[in-house]
Structure 1
Amino acid sequence: MDKLNLRRELLSARASLTPEQRRANAVKVRETLLDQPWVQMAGLVACYWSIGTEPETHGLVFALWKHGATVILPVLREDNDLDWAVYDGPDTLAPGRFGVMEPVDTRRGVDAIRTAALVIVPALAVDRLSGVRLGRGGGSYDRALARVGPNVPTVALLHDGELIHGVPAERHDQRVRWAISPEGLTSLM
């Protein structure tokens, strides 16, 4: 299946999830992720502020921050690359481009992700064998992930059924090392 049709299929499946299912999924994912020693030890975490039917990250971001991690969230630039700024609590967010909530802190630059000890990214699907993630098609996270060191845990948050075989890949598509869904955490490398 090509990327466009696969995206449509996955977005349709996400739209069928009830708010209650999404909330329950978020709790499972958050608890599983926070139980990992490599998550607990991460001093600087790059994450994202979820929107729509994406796996919910608001509670995860808050929990990481409350447990002492410095959390940086993306700020979408005009060129669709990702700048980064520090999350310092729920009151430090404001709508950015396209209404996505972004930190109001000083921008740290596109290379700030290089210093993260853990990187959590959105994905519509991840290939079970190769770790290739399917995003929304803008390439923002592929550019960001290309800056991450090879030994840094990169984790894609998914709903059940989104860790699949046969995600179409192009040269620029980046892989993740882990995928997590309500079904559990899966190592991909």
Structure 2
Amino acid sequence: MTTGEWDKQAWRAELLARRAAVSAEERMAEAAALAAGVTALHADGWVCAYVPVGSEPGSLALLDALRAGGARVLLPVTGPPGPLAWAEYLGGDRLRRARYGLLEPDGPTIPDALDLAELILIPALAVDRRGVRLGRGAGYYDRTLHAARPDARLIAVVRDDELVDHLPEEPHDHRMGWVLTPHHGLRRLEADTHD
């Protein structure tokens, strides 16, 4: 295990413990704030998003708010380790249970979905001010984001205290250009600044 991987494991353990300590009421309030905050995205085209699992910030209300604003929402469909496939979200009643406790659309996957997406909402445990994202470690997004359009906005979705000054970075990590938090809304990151 490299030093960067060990540092990431320590960060993950701490952040997951912090999330586990958040009350259900606070999680619900943050989810409502995120759903209200997506109006700042001005998304009226294709958007890649996700259904939160466990203590991840967000809710189906966020996806519904995107759709109400005119966006067509794509959600990941997991398979074997590798790039994610994507299918269109058509409402909560059209989701099915999938691996890792996820919910996925019940419709067909859309080939080259990332060619369509103007913005991509990405789950994260934390993101730093340079745009370095810390995920759960499975690598699905790292193997997927290289296919994003060059002009797509990559937006990490985290709790307010999960925007941090500095995270360990490895060569395969994709930097985010933006962060969306419940109380501070949408903020641009310094994704083009490399140490």
Q: TM-score, normalised by structure 1?
A: 0.91
Q: Which runs of 4+ in 1 moved over 4 A?
A: none
Q: Which position in structure 2 is the counterpart of 1:174?
A: 174
Q: Are residues 1:33 and 2:35 paired? A: no
Q: Which position in structure 2 is the counterpart of 1:10?
A: 15
Task: Tell me by how many angstroms 1:119 deviates.
Answer: 0.6
Q: TM-score, normalised by structure 2?
A: 0.89
Q: Which position in structure 1 is the counterpart of 2:144?
A: 144
> Match of 1:161, SS?
helix
> Match of 1:79, SS?
coil
**Aligned length, in residue pairs:** 184
Gaps in structure 2 of 5+ consecutive residues = 1-5, 191-195
Question: Does structure 2 conserve the Cα–Cα contact (< 8 Å) formed by 1:80 and 1:138?
Answer: no
Q: Which position in structure 2 is the counterpart of 1:122?
A: 123
Question: Does structure 2 conserve the Cα–Cα contact (< 8 Å) formed by 1:125 and 1:163?
Answer: yes
> Match of 2:161, SS?
coil
Question: Does structure 1 conserve the Cα–Cα contact (< 8 Å) formed by 2:127 and 2:133?
Answer: yes
> Match of 1:117, SS?
strand
Alpha-carbon separation, structure 1, partners of 2:149 and 2:27: 31
Over the aligned positions, Cα root-mean-square deviation in angstroms equals 1.4
1:55-66 equivalences in 2 (<5 Å): 55-66=57-68
> Match of 2:187, SS?
strand
% identical aligned pairs: 41
Alpha-carbon separation, structure 2, partners of 1:166 and 1:20: 29
Deviates more, 1:176-185 or 1:9-18: 176-185
Cα distance change on mapping 1:102 and 1:41 into 2, 3 Å? closer
Amino acid at match of 1:14: R
Amino acid at match of 1:43: G
Alpha-carbon separation, structure 1, partners of 2:148 and 2:22: 32
Q: Are residues 1:72 and 2:77 paired? A: no
Alpha-carbon separation, structure 1, partners of 2:154 and 2:110: 20
Q: Are residues 1:113 and 2:114 paired? A: yes
Question: Does structure 1 conserve the Cα–Cα contact (< 8 Å) formed by 2:87 and 2:109?
Answer: yes
Alpha-carbon separation, structure 2, partners of 1:89 and 1:176: 27
Question: Does structure 1 conserve the Cα–Cα contact (< 8 Å) formed by 2:153 and 2:178?
Answer: yes
Task: Tell me by how many angstroms 1:153 deviates.
Answer: 1.2
Task: Tell me by how many angstroms 1:114 deviates.
Answer: 2.3
